[in-house]
Structure 1
Amino acid sequence: MLTKLKVGLISGSALILLAACGGQEEPTNNSASSTTESSDSSSAAPNFEGKSFSVTYEQAIADFQEAHPSVAISSIDFDKGFGAYSFEINGFDDTQEIEWEINAENGKETKNNTEKKDADNDDRELMVDDLMTIDELITKSEDEAQNAVLVSWNLEVDDNTNTPLFTGEFKEGNNEVDVHLNAETGEFLSSEND
């Protein structure tokens, strides 16, 4: 009887310990579109005011393509305007230009403008499927501006080289730094201080 009691107590203790361990979750950063994940949780990136977003970069593209299935994407911006972070996606087809925006914090569409395409406009398609992931591009741009905080970013095709361009816009005190990368390869191209 004493042996059964000991086995029962040990088994019960083990179950309680397993239940306690199983309930803990690793902290995650669910804003994959806007901040980088860090293996060292004490050095979490302060980018974008440390916010998490309900809309990811990938979801913003999918929502745009669902709303405008035959429209090519020409640029994608992620920044804060009117108090909230948002994705602005610009696109075009043979006859029209689209300016579309979604609030990254609450998922609400905030802009969906269509206008007739200007005959002089030489839009270039941003081939989003050929680009590095946004998290990889953010990490590579942070490597080039280590003491600064990323406040916004942009993807577009460079007019002169026809290269997909990622621009990370950083703040370092009162200084602004723009880091330019090749969005397909992650190669550092240049940086500018304002």
Structure 2
Amino acid sequence: MNKKIVTGIVCLAGVGLLAACDNDATADISKETFKISLNEAVEIFEEKHPNATITSINFDKDFGEYRYDIEGVDNSKEYEISVDATSKDLKEKEEKLDREDANGQKKRNEALNLEKIISPQEAMKAALAEMNNKGNAVEWSIEQELQNTYYSVQVKDGRTETEVNVSATDGKILSVETDQ
């Protein structure tokens, strides 16, 4: 009898913890203000690696902390810096490029054009408007395909997740893909 009660309590506690985690994972970052901006995070990367070109930027929650994960390359190495959006705490990683990516190949193919792009807030606003303001923006990234730089904004509404791709230069919606 006691085993059943203890098992029931453990199960309820587990469900409660999972529900709390899910609520936190769906917080709307479009309404949040962070101490470190995208521009500051990019400046940190560029100060650490002045000869590198940025190839991707991702903003999401990692172990309870919002972080900018910025990747870039020079002619021989790939760099990754993770900047805490509140404390400016840095994590760095670096590795040698594969032969096919070395000598500027990856640098040319995957370089992000960060000139004259809209802010993450503008991209999230456009993505949420496309979703009729239903759901929360839970993460975003800046990506490049065919020399077009765009934001990929993840919007979560209950159990439905939608990826909205927004042009980084003019805020127009490029595509919408929903997973249920």
Which TM class, normalised by the smaller chain length? 0.7 to 0.9
For residues 1-194 of structure 1, what are the structure 2 equivalents within 5 Å?
Answer: 47-48=28-29, 51-109=32-90, 111-121=91-101, 122=106, 123-145=109-131, 146-158=133-145, 161-194=146-179
| Aligned mates of 2:33, 2:170 — CA distance in 1 | 27
Deviation at 1:154, TM superposition (A): 0.4
Does the C-alpha gap of structure 1 residues 50 and 139 become closer, same or farther in structure 2, counting only changes over 3 Å? closer
Match of 1:41 in 2: none
Q: TM-score, normalised by structure 2?
A: 0.75
Stretches of structure 2 lacking an aligned partner (at least 5 in a row): 1-26
Whether the 8 Å CA contact 2:30–2:124 is kept in 1: the answer is no
What is the distance in 2 between the residues matched to 1:164 and 1:128? 8
Deviation at 1:49, TM superposition (A): 8.9
- Scaled by the length of structure 1, the TM-score of the pair is 0.70
Measured against aligned partners, the alpha-carbon deviations of 1:84-115 in whole angstroms (never above 9, x if no partner) come to: 11000000010110011011121111x21111
CA-CA distance at 1:118 after TM superposition: 1.6
Which one is further off, 129-138 or 144-153? 129-138
- CA root-mean-square deviation: 1.6
Helix, strand or coil for the counterpart of 1:129? coil
Note the C-alpha offset of 1:155.
Answer: 0.2
**Cα drift, residue 135 of structure 1:** 2.3
Other structure's SS at 2:147 match: coil
SS in 1 for 2:115: helix
CA separation in 1, counterparts of 2:48 and 2:120?
Answer: 22
Between 1 and 2, higher relative CO (CA 8 Å, sep ≥ 6) is seen in 2
> Structure 1 CA distance, aligned partners of 2:30 and 2:117?
26
Once the two structures are TM-superposed, the CA of residue 50 in structure 1 deviates from its matched residue by 5.4
- Identical columns (%): 28
Amino acid at match of 2:100: D
